[in-house]
Structure 1
Amino acid sequence: MDRNTATGLFLISALLLVYLFFFSPKDKVEKDKAQATTSTAAKPAAATAAAALPAVPRLDSAAGPARSIELKNPELTLTFSTQGGRVAAVRLNNYKTFFGKPLFLLDEQSARYNTRFRTLDGKTVDFSALNFQSTGAQPAADGGQLLTFVAPVAGGTITQTYTVPKTGYEVKYNLKLAGVNVAQEPLQWSLQDNVRQTEQDIKQNRNHTTINHYSTDGKQNNLAETSEKPEETKVTEPLKWTADKHDFFVAGFVADSQPFTSGQFNANVNLTDSTFIKGLSTQLGLPVADVTSAAGGQYRYFFGPNQFNLLKSVAPEFDRNVYLGWGFFRGVNRFLVIPVFNFLQQYISSYGVIILLLVVLIKLVTWPLTYKTYEGQARMKVLKPELDEIKAKYPDDQVKSQQETMKLYQQFGVSPLGGCVPTLLTLPILFAMFQFFPNAIELRQQPFLWATD
């Protein structure tokens, strides 16, 4: 390897490190931490955002006062409430916020699930007004934990069953209405999610937070991430899944039996609020024939990190919650950068070193072309006297001069554009890496040299 190649490797490596270090605004860590502390100035904004949650209806069940039930596995701590028979809080056990606090993907003060439907006589049944009965967790067939909530309503019963896995982030959910005089229209499932700041850079945290949804015909769409204006999308086609993407984490809902009939998605931003960075709202239609069937409606919640390899197995195209760039660059990341990255991290603990090795590997792969470039440059130097002679021979005839020059190139096997080929092949890979690294949760809170995250 000559001096020019070594210099090129050094410059490309330095470029990647500088990009990663300066990718987010240069706010001081102390300033960011101060934003996350509860201050007198921040309280009104937080109160305003929290008020966006729907008011909790008064309980009309005789099942006693509402109570909480907590289930755990190595990855998740889930808090369920008998009021509504819902997931009330989700803690990711293996992650913390930038501020060193436990990371709650959802909590009682910031998020709320609910389901509503109408009966044949026109009355509205609101799950959050029902205090479901539960006998607590039971062993599941797969080694996990089974939690069932039951409430009598409209001449029948509502049964909600959650299956928390022994390990992992996917929680199975079954909803069944038996003997209920339900109107023949979709049930309305909803999630109101006021997203808390969990990362150092509040602007990037906000701009990477959105709602993604995927239809049964293979279309994936989302609300505009960087918009500071209210966003709304209504979808009338069947949907397979929807996901609240919180920068590096995802709260998803997947239909396994029948697809959701429709969806409405909203996002609102309050730039003065440093506690809740964005308000997300999702409403989905659940097919009445599905939830009233003998098996009930079968769904899955996903509460976990926004990690490509993990999301691939959740649902079709669920890995698109990880932004890898558009078109060609996404393909480069998916089939080249990520497989090599995954291989290297099996043997190397420092992600900074992995990044440097990725750059070196790119140069090694393109080395044959680079060598041809150097060889062509050497030939060009040898041909320079003859090229100067052609220019002197045809000073006023550019066409003839060009023809003789190309003839000379062909005679000696020289391409004037040969030096561009290695660069053109390398740049797309580098651009793809620039899209992957800021969105890779593996690099979250990982230090390297002077960079703390």
Structure 2
Amino acid sequence: MEEKKFDVNSLIGFLLIGAILIWVMYNNKAEEASQPEQTSTEQVVSQEEPSETTTAVPADTVEVAADSAALAKYQSALGPFAYSAGLPSAKDNVTKLENDLLEIHVSNKGGQVVFARLKNFVTYDSVPVYLVKDGNASFNLQLNTTDNRTLNTKDLFFEPQLSKSGENTVLSMRLKSAPDQYLEYRYVLKPDDYLIDFSIRTEGLGQILNTTSPVQLRWQQKGIRHNKSIEYENRYTRLTYMSDGSVSKLSQTGSDDEQEEELKWISFRQHFFSTILASEAPFEKAQLVSNDLVEEESPEAKYTKEYVAEIPLEFQGSELNKVMDWYYGPTDFKVLKQYEDYDFAESVPFGWGIFGFINKYVFTPLYDFLSSMLPYGIAIIVMTILVRIALSPVTYKSYLSQAKMKVLRPEITEINEKYKDNAMKRQQETMKLYGKAGVNPMSGCIPALLQLPIFYALFMFFPTAFMLRQKPFLWAEDLSSYDTIAELPFTIPFYGDHVSLFPILASVAIFFYMRMTTGQQQMMQQPSQEGMPDMQGMMKIMIYISPLLMLFFFNNYASGLSLYYFVSNLITIVIMLVIKNYILDEDKIHAQIQENKKKPKKENKFQRRMREMMEQAEQQKKK
């Protein structure tokens, strides 16, 4: 039997192999530890795990080539852009761009923005404000090739290249058919800016794309809910656009579509936040669509409206070159007016005509000034006081007219009794009395009409004033939304599932205000004639109906608006009491009217014409 001996050579061999393996493993770990984290300025692709404050970006990698046959089939479907499928970037990863205001993610797939978060704002329930998230938006170019293919960029993979240009962050997303032939999306994010420079251009694709027909751009987005009441938020969520220098909107409810030309910008507005696509050279035409997604008030509803913009982009010779801008930010007049080149401030829904003018140049600057020194609720009260003081001369004129009519009431009653069977004569004598006394029965209505622009302008101002958003006052948590003092276990139609206190206070104030004004009007009102409606009875009914309507209508409106109407009616009541008890003297008014009656009254052309017409009608009646 052979004796086993210790093999020194085998031992040395094993030790050398072990040393080599340890050396290889050590060097691999050292290389991984020393490798910098995404420091390349040529390509930085974010693959971090989603946190509670960021959107969940798909982490799965799109396997383009499971085998050679699958790769060949996939590349055949891509036609001239098969080259992109073989690049390392053919994965569903994202590139992150951010500054102090905005964070966006741009996906390799489609080269489009798949995530947009505003860093300085949260929703009513303290969730970050997202404008793009969870696939609610899509940006696509439909490309027609010379070999009769139709390709959609949202399905194709772009190659990202991230770099710095001074303080700006530049992201180039290229869909390649060859190293020097590509379609490029270029994003430029500046510090402290909500506006992103965005351009689309082609390089060397003149022989690949059909340049005789335009590229169809399709931008689609659903508005993400941010407010406590989705119905209230949806009321101010509109597709807005500037065409030929004027701002227009699609319908507030239901579905609406328009084909427009020469568009400077298109805004997908979500009440207090907007996503705007603007172009340096106006879009020649666009098909715009808006679909209302809100059927009823619901705490589970996530989206308000769905918007679509389809825009044809024309080639310039053999290449495509379109310079645009994206705005992701608040619908705040102070912020939007910084972008004067685009007139973004016109997208704020201040109202049309004189109402928008008053809000833009009177109430917005006034409230900005007051709120810079006072708490927001106190600023509303102070602004209300200033508005009522400014309108006090109008209130005085209205009350003076009512007082004059009250003084003349005995004489008017006498005329009505004397000519109760002759309506025409009764009207003639009444007008003659007004003329002699120097009283215009319409002068009480004119001051009320003058206040209507102020009333409607403020009605539009408070629900759209961004500075009121999430500003508390007393029991109201948010002056831009409704206040709640009690939650109801059921929903009352047209009222809601909660009780708001400010609308109740405003309704009580308007009830007493209407009692005062209606009582004064009843004193000067002529008795109702046979066959004519009972105006006094209708006015009594309105005393109760108007406050009730306000109570229901404003229960879901901005508490700042209800606060304004409450304070405004209180101040108006005080002003009227002061005018009645300390300024106007009915005895002096009566004496002045009697003096006016003694003076010869010269008729103007209109009065003479009216008198002649009534006399002719009287003669015709006698015949």
Deviation at 1:105, TM superposition (A): 0.7
* Aligned mate of 1:357, from 375, 378, 382: 382
Q: Does 1:201 align with 2:225?
A: no
Deviation at 1:95, TM superposition (A): 1.1
Write the mapping of 1:43-442 to structure 2, written as runs, cut at 5 A: 60-64=85-89, 65-140=91-166, 143-153=167-177, 156-181=181-206, 182-184=209-211, 185-215=213-243, 217-218=244-245, 220-227=247-254, 231=255, 233=257, 235=259, 237-267=261-291, 269=293, 271=295, 274-289=301-316, 292=319, 296-312=321-337, 313=339, 318-350=344-376, 352-377=377-402, 406=431, 409-410=434-435, 413-442=438-467
Q: Distance in 1 between matches of 2:448 and 2:126?
A: 42
Counterpart contact for 1:254–1:315, Cα < 8 Å: no
Letter matched to residue 252 of structure 2:
E
Q: Distance in 2 between matches of 1:160 and 1:446?
A: 39
Q: In the superposition, relative to structure 1, how do residues 201 and 135 fare at CA in structure 2: closer, same or farther (>3 Å)?
A: same
SS at match of 1:256: strand
Deviation at 1:241, TM superposition (A): 1.9
Q: Distance in 2 between matches of 1:211 and 1:291?
A: 33
Q: Distance in 1 between matches of 2:162 and 2:122?
A: 28
Deviation at 1:80, TM superposition (A): 2.0
Deviation at 1:388, TM superposition (A): 6.2
Q: Distance in 1 between matches of 2:423 and 2:287?
A: 65
Mean CA deviation greater in 309-318 or 101-110: 309-318
Q: Distance in 2 between matches of 1:146 and 1:291?
A: 26
Q: In the superposition, relative to structure 1, how do residues 268 and 137 fare at CA in structure 2: closer, same or farther (>3 Å)?
A: farther
Q: In the superposition, relative to structure 1, how do residues 376 and 236 fare at CA in structure 2: closer, same or farther (>3 Å)?
A: closer
C-alpha RMSD of the superposition: 3.4
Unaligned runs of 5+ in 2: 1-61, 65-73, 75-83, 479-623
Deviation at 1:380, TM superposition (A): 5.2
Paired position in structure 2 for 1:20: none
Q: In the superposition, relative to structure 1, how do residues 412 and 218 fare at CA in structure 2: closer, same or farther (>3 Å)?
A: same
Q: Distance in 2 between matches of 1:251 and 1:282?
A: 12
Q: In the superposition, relative to structure 1, how do residues 258 and 411 fare at CA in structure 2: closer, same or farther (>3 Å)?
A: closer
Counterpart contact for 2:231–2:294, Cα < 8 Å: no
Q: Distance in 1 between matches of 2:97 and 2:216?
A: 26
Q: Distance in 2 between matches of 1:81 and 1:442?
A: 34
Deviation at 1:108, TM superposition (A): 4.1
Deviation at 1:62, TM superposition (A): 0.6
Deviation at 1:282, TM superposition (A): 2.7
Deviation at 1:274, TM superposition (A): 1.6
Counterpart contact for 2:371–2:379, Cα < 8 Å: yes
Counterpart contact for 1:258–1:290, Cα < 8 Å: no
* Aligned mate of 1:443, from 468, 477, 483: 468
Counterpart contact for 1:89–1:105, Cα < 8 Å: yes
Q: Distance in 2 between matches of 1:357 and 1:255?
A: 42
Unaligned runs of 5+ in 1: 1-54
Counterpart contact for 2:355–2:456, Cα < 8 Å: yes
Q: Distance in 2 between matches of 1:392 and 1:225?
A: 54
Letter matched to residue 115 of structure 2:
A
Q: Distance in 2 between matches of 1:314 and 1:193?
A: 25
Deviation at 1:248, TM superposition (A): 1.7
Q: Distance in 1 between matches of 2:392 and 2:292?
A: 50
Paired position in structure 2 for 1:15: none
Q: In the superposition, relative to structure 1, how do residues 61 and 125 fare at CA in structure 2: closer, same or farther (>3 Å)?
A: farther
Deviation at 1:104, TM superposition (A): 0.7
SS at match of 2:475: coil
Mean CA deviation greater in 78-87 or 126-135: 126-135
Deviation at 1:145, TM superposition (A): 2.4
Q: In the superposition, relative to structure 1, how do residues 394 and 347 fare at CA in structure 2: closer, same or farther (>3 Å)?
A: same
Q: Distance in 2 between matches of 1:235 and 1:120?
A: 29
Counterpart contact for 2:262–2:282, Cα < 8 Å: no
Q: Tell which structure's C-alpha radius of gyration is larger.
A: 2
Letter matched to residue 287 of structure 1:
E
Deviation at 1:75, TM superposition (A): 1.8
Of Structure 1 and Structure 2, which has the larger fraction of its residues in helix? 2
Letter matched to residue 104 of structure 1:
Y
Letter matched to residue 158 of structure 1:
L
Q: Distance in 2 between matches of 1:388 and 1:279?
A: 62
Number of aligned residues: 390
Q: In the superposition, relative to structure 1, how do residues 317 and 382 fare at CA in structure 2: closer, same or farther (>3 Å)?
A: same
